[in-house]
Amino acid sequence: MANKKNKVKFGLTNVHYAKINDWVTDASGANLTPVYVDPVRLPGAVSISIDANGENENFYADDIVYYVISNNSGYEGDLEIALIPTDFSTDILGEILDSNGVLVERNDDEVSQFALLFEFTGDKRKIRHVLYCCSASRPATEGQTTEDSKEVKTETI
């Protein structure tokens, strides 16, 4: 089974985040390495859509493309989930849970960086991904009154 290759992927499951708690330098002091807390599950994953940032830039010499510079600027995208958990709001978005159980957002909240872990189901085996240094912006808030039927509203970070 381990040697079988997927032909397709579908489904999104096992979404987790791991907050970056600290950064340590190596012996030379040149490289920073993140230190993560244990991963926490983000339940209710609906979809993820991430696009690569950066472009190739051509350097011309001798009337040809002499060298191609690849500008890798990471990824940008959206993770849609049923409801953002309180833990994510406090751990990552910097919101404060007050004594009344109300999430308080302040204009000077510091957002934390984190790793995002998720997997797709393949036809033969799971396809796992880790994005090691992510940041999230505040989600939009949306809702409406319930009429004849209920419609679930999701949240996107």
Residue 2 reports pLDDT greater than 80: no
Q: Does residue 93 sit within a domain?
A: no
Q: Does residue 53 sit within a domain?
A: yes
* Dist CA 41 CA 92 (whole Å): 13
* Chain-centroid distance, C-alpha 148: 35
**Could you list the residue range(s) of the whole structural domain that residue 131 is in?**
9-82+113-137
Q: Does residue 133 sit within a domain?
A: yes
The values of phi and psi at residue 70, to 5°, are -95, 115
42 burial type by CB count under 10 A (0-12 exposed, 13-18 middle, 19+ buried): buried
- Structurally, the chain folds into a number of domains equal to 1
* Per-residue confidence (pLDDT) for residue 32, from 0 to 100: 86
* Per-residue confidence (pLDDT) for residue 73, from 0 to 100: 85
Q: Does residue 96 sit within a domain?
A: no
Through-space distance between the first and last CA atoms of the chain, rounded to whole angstroms: 35
Partners of 127 in beta bridges: 120
Q: Does residue 22 sit within a domain?
A: yes
DSSP letters for the chain: -TT---S-EEEEEEEEEEEEEEEEE-TTS--EEEEEPPPEE---EEEEEEEE---EEEEEETTEEEEEEE----EEEEEEESS--HHHHHHTS--EE-TTS-EE--TTPPPPPEEEEEEEEESSS-EEEEEEEE--PPPP-------SS-----EE-
Mean pLDDT value across the chain: 90
pLDDT digits (tens, 9 = 90+) for 5-56: 889 889 999 999 999 999 998 888 777 899 999 999 999 999 999 998 988 8
Taking the CB of residue 104, how many other CB atoms lie within 10 A of it? 12
The token pair that represents 72 in the structure block = 């890798």
pLDDT tier at 148 (50, 70, 90 boundaries)? confident
The pTM for the full model equals 0.82
Among 8-17, 38-47, 77-86, 104-113, which stretch is predicted with the lowest mean pLDDT?
104-113
Q: Does residue 57 sit within a domain?
A: yes
Q: Does residue 149 sit within a domain?
A: no
Q: Does residue 89 sit within a domain?
A: no
